Amino acid sequence: MFWLVFIPFLLISVGLVGLILSQEPKQSGLGDALGGGAPMPTDFSSIRTSASSMHKLTVYLAVAWGVLAILLQITSRF
């Protein structure tokens, strides 16, 4: 039972890391504060739709990761 929970937990963990790192930040951050900010394009229509779908996928994977983390704790006791 442990391995049935652990393998998806690992796959979701790797997927979350990749998904989070591939998202664009909403704020410019420290790079812009130090003078490294580049001008952004003005057409954001296609960026918004992909960003919102990536955000939803991130939330779903994070919830699944949390549920699997709890199940992993429960199954490791047996």
First to last CA, the chain: 9
Q: What is the pLDDT of residues 28-61, one digit of tens each?
A: 666 666 665 555 555 555 556 677 889 999 999 9
As a whole number of angstroms, the distance between CA 69 and CA 78 comes to 15
Q: What percent of the chain has pLDDT over 90?
A: 51
Check: CB of residue 78 under 8 Å from CB of residue 40: no
- What average pLDDT does the structure give for the chain? 82
Could you list the residue range(s) of the whole structural domain that residue 57 is in? Answer: 1-20+49-78
Quick check: is 5 in a domain?
Answer: yes
Q: Which two tokens stand for residue 55?
A: 């955000």
Per-residue confidence at 4, pLDDT binned at 50, 70, 90? very high
- 24 or 43, higher pLDDT: 24
pTM: 0.69
pLDDT at res. 50: 73
In a domain, 67, yes or no: yes
- Residue 63, pLDDT above cutoff 70: yes
> How many DSSP H helices and E strands does the chain contain?
3, 0
In a domain, 69, yes or no: yes
